[in-house]
A and B are shown apart, each in its own frame.
Chain A
Amino acid sequence: MTPMLTADEMLVRALVDQGIEHIFWHPGGANFPYHRALSNCEEIALVLVRHALGACHMADGYARATGCPGVVMLTSGSGATNSITGIANAYMDSVPIIVICGRDSTGHSVSTQLDETDMIGISRPVVKHSYVLPSAMDIPRIVREAVFVATSGRPGPVVIDVPRSAYESKDKYEYVMPETVSLRGYRPAESGHAGQIKKALDALLQSARPLIYAGGGVIQGKASSELLTFAERLNLPVATSLMGLGAIPGSNRLCLGMLGLHGSCIANNAIAHTDLVLALGTRFDERAINDPETFCPQARVIHVDIDPSSISKTITADLPIVGPVKEVLSILNQLACDKQELQSKRNDRYVSWWEQIEGWWHKLSGDEHDNRTESNSEHIHPQDVVQVLYEETQGEVFITTDVGQHQIFFAQGYKFSSSRRWVTPGGLGTMGFGLPAALGVQFAVPQGTVVCITGESSFLVNLQELSTCAQYDLPIKVFCFNNGTLGMVNQWNQIHGWENGLLGYPESMPDFVQLVEAFGHRALRASTRDELKQAVSLAFSQECKNQTVFVDVRVDPNVRLLPRQESGFSTSDSSSVGH
């Protein structure tokens, strides 16, 4: 017999049926009634946050770590509008979150109530799709569609606006969850074109200097193991985008590191010299390619992406393949298997190309990123922190970051053992993301170790969530690269000879240890390398296993981020080496 439920019960039931286990929630008049239905629900844990933006970033971190949708429930008006940055952030990085907002008016009419806002209109440019609930009866279908749309194809955020009238009514409705989703306007590609895929393999076999360029789509598309199998079978070097870090283990010999403005010289040299790029799930962001005219000048480009609008947007694809990266790589692996010459893993393919690549390694004598020699040895260098953390954790932890020098130093220096462990706001560059995202990841992986890498300025953007962290006893570890400056901005200012607009900033910084202690957490300060090592080993010790630990790491304020390919860098020739 179909159950008869009220609208709020329907919503909760539909979310349970779609496998939702957490809801990040900021209450208000327009969503409070759901609280009743939710508190009676054992399957869903309701997480009360301090800020709607925090809720979105938590859902975002949750989704990135698991691939499951992160769900947010907010009230109307300012409760809803505070989420826009979080939604935009998820949109830019293709993260499946579902934001359910209350709305004060009934039906579709816009009332003049104080906190009425057109959430659907305001969020339109930054959502994958949005719904105004037509009637309570539609709740199961819309929740099902929302989950499907958010998580399939190129994932992204979905907003559902629920009018107050829907839940205020005590009317009961038949709860019927449709068996399938039928959206005639939405059919994400399920497989790539077989002929094109075959051509891609032939091209790779004919190429002398091929290169895989892996983006965040490999991670979102759960294609890491297919990628590794394929790269190893053909002995292909792999460069990644910022979002693609972890697509292949950072310590694998095939991994050349990150491409682009702050990328590794090896990866940039490789892209300059390659004759064939196999781009997987990437949108060729400006920071990765700089100038489309001079990007991989000698190469043909094969571009595999689930989203046709990413293909030939900035870099024209000679061989476009629209489809899920996982599927396409599986077929490539199969085709390769069928070829006699590719039957075993071989390290001797593309020999002279690898010699060239290894030549760059030698020229750069090991770690090209190490520019610690130029800094004052008294201070802790940001790279010291990355190194100490890597030695302690071996790439096995979940890392969330904020935006700035600390983020890039980390991206350059840390070697991720696997995918879904690197949670960074790449597309929108949203300061304030790191802390709430870390909470979201910890909710998703209660047994995992979650580390937030932040800068003192980014940390101040959403520090209210330290209180959420206390409420739910989340043992995250925060490492604040405190350089007393907006490092990234300062660096740009210096390069362009702009005046320093940050006078008075360092003097106005709070005592972070006291600040974090006020929230009831453990806080440490590290001003020397020895203190840093002690703080790191304490943070990950058994003693602190169940504690939130914050480490205020005093890093050298005068450090520049290197290598930094000068603006207008053409990735051509070895000119990018040695910056």
Chain B
Amino acid sequence: MKQLLAILFENEVGALARVLGLFAQRNVNIESLSVAPTEDTTMSRLTLLTVSDAQTIEQITKHLNRLVGVVKVVNLVHVEHVERELMLVKVCAEGEERQEIKRTCDIFRGQIVDVTTNTYTVQLVGPTAKLLGFLETIGRAHILEVVRSGTCGITRGARALSVGSKGA
């Protein structure tokens, strides 16, 4: 089952390692993660995507809350939320195919951010499924390199994740 955790934690040495250690200890693989400071730069926010059963993720969540440096944890799959991910793809684009690739890129609302005579680098933003759809459409044979930011998630509506009581 897909799990998407949003974690607010102290922006300090070793804090991220403690968070990630909890997943490794329980033999849970992390599919993606994205982390950066928030508007309050003493605090970082991490969005972490993983596949695991409800009981395991519940236990990990409790242990995350136990960490002294973790301020708040929310599993976004339980609330209405928006997810976005950024991807840069370097594709082989030669001859007649250049047109076709450009068109596909437009359809997916991608932007070409770098060009050479035989490659395009495409920037794409959207839910992960859309990014994967693009890769599939372009086809493996044309893909030279892919880099993804990992999913970012935020709750819908006025409800915000901020320093308050833990684990709400």
Q: Which of A125, A184, A185 has the most CB of B within 10 A?
A: A185
A1 at the interface (CB under 8 A from B): no
- Name the B residues within 8 Å of A313 (CB-CB): 59
Q: Establish whether residues A187 and B14, one from each chain, have CB atoms under 8 Å apart when the complex forms.
A: no
Report which of A125, A129, A183, A309 forms a contact with B21, defined as CB distance below 8 A. A125
Q: How far is the CA of A154 from the CA of B17 in the complex (A)?
A: 22
Q: Establish whether residues B14 and A132, one from each chain, have CB atoms under 8 Å apart when the complex forms.
A: yes
Q: Establish whether residues B63 and A184, one from each chain, have CB atoms under 8 Å apart when the complex forms.
A: no
- Name the B residues within 8 Å of A154 (CB-CB): 66
Q: Shortest CB–CB separation between residue A314 and chain B, in angstroms? A: 10
B158 at the interface (CB under 8 A from A): no
Q: Establish whether residues B14 and A309, one from each chain, have CB atoms under 8 Å apart when the complex forms.
A: no
Q: Shortest CB–CB separation between residue B71 and chain A, in angstroms? A: 4
Q: From known contacts A124-B18, A124-B21, A309-B62, infer whether A108 and B13 are also in contact, taking CB-CB under 8 Å.
A: yes
Q: How far is the CA of A154 from the CA of B65 in the complex (A)?
A: 13
Interface residues of B in 1-39 (CB under 8 A from A): 9-10, 13-14, 17-18, 21, 25
Q: Establish whether residues A184 and B62, one from each chain, have CB atoms under 8 Å apart when the complex forms.
A: no
Q: Shortest CB–CB separation between residue A363 and chain B, in angstroms? A: 39
B contact patch SS: mixed
Interface residues of A in 164-191 (CB under 8 A from B): 183-187
Q: From known contacts A125-B21, A185-B71, infer whether A309 and B13 are also in contact, taking CB-CB under 8 Å.
A: no
Count residues of B near A (Cβ-Cβ below 8 Å).
Answer: 22
A149 at the interface (CB under 8 A from B): yes
Q: How far is the CA of A307 from the CA of B167 in the complex (A)?
A: 13
- Name the A residues within 8 Å of B62 (CB-CB): 308-309
Nearest residue, chain A, Cβ from B64:
A309
Contact flags B136-168 to A (C-beta < 8 A → 1, else 0): 000000000000000000000000000101110
Count residues of A near B (Cβ-Cβ below 8 Å).
Answer: 20
Contact flags A286-325 to B (C-beta < 8 A → 1, else 0): 0000000000000000000001110001000000000000
B67 at the interface (CB under 8 A from A): yes
Interface residues of A in 125-157 (CB under 8 A from B): 125, 128-130, 132, 149, 154
B70 at the interface (CB under 8 A from A): yes
B127 at the interface (CB under 8 A from A): no
Q: Establish whether residues B17 and A128, one from each chain, have CB atoms under 8 Å apart when the complex forms.
A: no
- Name the A residues within 8 Å of B166 (CB-CB): 185, 187
- Name the A residues within 8 Å of B25 (CB-CB): 125
Report which of B13, B21, B59, B68 forms a contact with A185, defined as CB distance below 8 A. B68
Q: How far is the CA of A132 from the CA of B15 in the complex (A)?
A: 11
Q: From known contacts A108-B13, A187-B166, infer whether A129 and B68 are also in contact, taking CB-CB under 8 Å.
A: yes
Q: Establish whether residues B163 and A184, one from each chain, have CB atoms under 8 Å apart when the complex forms.
A: yes
Q: How far is the CA of A307 from the CA of B65 in the complex (A)?
A: 10
Q: Establish whether residues A124 and B17, one from each chain, have CB atoms under 8 Å apart when the complex forms.
A: yes
Q: Establish whether residues B14 and A185, one from each chain, have CB atoms under 8 Å apart when the complex forms.
A: no
Q: Shortest CB–CB separation between residue B43 and chain A, in angstroms? A: 9
Q: How far is the CA of A185 from the CA of B69 in the complex (A)?
A: 5
A195 at the interface (CB under 8 A from B): no
Q: Shortest CB–CB separation between residue A106 and chain B, in angstroms? A: 14
Q: From known contacts A125-B21, A130-B14, A184-B163, infer whether A309 and B59 are also in contact, taking CB-CB under 8 Å.
A: yes
Q: How far is the CA of A4 from the CA of B17 in the complex (A)?
A: 35
Q: How far is the CA of A308 from the CA of B17 in the complex (A)?
A: 22
Q: How far is the CA of A128 from the CA of B67 in the complex (A)?
A: 7
A120 at the interface (CB under 8 A from B): yes
Q: Establish whether residues B66 and A307, one from each chain, have CB atoms under 8 Å apart when the complex forms.
A: yes
Report which of A108, A124, A132, A308 forms a contact with B65, defined as CB distance below 8 A. A308
Nearest residue, chain A, Cβ from B9:
A185
Contact flags B115-138 to A (C-beta < 8 A → 1, else 0): 000000000000000000000000
Q: Shortest CB–CB separation between residue B58 and chain A, in angstroms? A: 8
A184-B71, A307-B66 are known contacts; what are 17 more A-B pairs with Cβ within 8 Å?
A108-B13, A120-B14, A121-B17, A124-B17, A128-B68, A130-B14, A132-B14, A184-B163, A185-B67, A185-B69, A185-B71, A187-B165, A308-B62, A308-B66, A309-B59, A309-B66, A313-B59
Q: List 28 A-B contacts (CB under 8 A).
A: A121-B17, A124-B14, A124-B18, A124-B21, A125-B25, A128-B68, A129-B68, A129-B69, A130-B14, A132-B13, A132-B14, A149-B68, A184-B71, A184-B163, A185-B9, A185-B10, A185-B67, A185-B68, A185-B69, A185-B70, A185-B71, A185-B166, A187-B165, A308-B62, A308-B66, A308-B167, A309-B59, A309-B63
Q: Which residues of B contact A (CB under 8 A)?
A: 9-10, 13-14, 17-18, 21, 25, 59, 62-63, 65-71, 163, 165-167
Q: Which residues of A contact B (CB under 8 A)?
A: 108, 120-121, 124-125, 128-130, 132, 149, 154, 183-187, 307-309, 313
Closest 9 CB pairs of A and B: A309-B62, A129-B68, A185-B71, A186-B68, A185-B70, A308-B62, A185-B69, A184-B71, A309-B63
